[in-house]
Amino acid sequence: MDYESRNFRKSLWQARQNHEFTDFNFICGAARFPVHKVIVCSQSKVFHMACTGLFKESSTSEYDLSEFSVDHVKWLIDFLYMGTYHTKFSKDSTLADHIYMFALGDMYSIEPLAQYAAEQFRIGISHAQQLEEVLALIPQVYKSTPEHRQELREQVVKFMRCPVRGKKEAIESREWYDDIAEQCPDFIKDLLFSYLEWPDPPQVFW
């Protein structure tokens, strides 16, 4: 992003912060987030349809995002205005947050957000040092992403194929396998199929 583009985005962001010309609101529980309809609708087919079609949002100028957390709604707004978002939690929480942001981008047809979240998830999972850091995330990945979106699913499969501290002991105990097979059988299918596609395990995460 060049200097002029960054300055333009900052100006839009500052206008939102000052409630200048805002004409739409995201609702998240008791919180209200004023935004500019042109910024929101120009980047999301879902929001565009809600604001231009025969839906209540077109008359109320509000869209309810209460199914997400306040932080996730804030990061959505950050991305719509700045093209990025920044999490400030621990590594484990950040990985989970990127899953939510990917799902949010897919749900509201904001493809750049989905791709950005997928890349942040890839970077985060590549630095995971323990098997248990990722195991708890696998059901969330599969439950929150449709089957045709493989970006995050491929990353957790690749993680399981790479050498990770504690993995050998966990595999020998089979406890993780039984739990994951029950909670997320599609992951087991993907993991097994990956051995047919590339039999030799990678030595490093990529």
Tens place of pLDDT per residue across the chain (206 aa) = 566 677 888 888 888 888 899 999 999 999 999 999 999 999 999 999 999 999 999 999 999 999 999 999 999 999 999 999 987 654 445 899 999 999 999 999 999 999 999 999 999 998 887 788 888 899 999 999 999 999 999 999 999 888 765 565 666 667 777 888 899 999 999 999 998 887 776 555 55
Please report, as a single letter, which amino acid is at residue 26.
F
Domain limits of the chain?
16-69
What Cα–Cα distance (Å) separates residue 171 from each residue in 29, 39, 186? 42, 48, 18
Q: Which of these, 136, 150, 64, lies nearest to 106 by C-alpha position?
A: 150
Length of the chain: 206
> Three-state SS for 1?
coil
The reported pTM is: 0.86
Judge: domain 16-69, CATH 3.40.50.460.
no
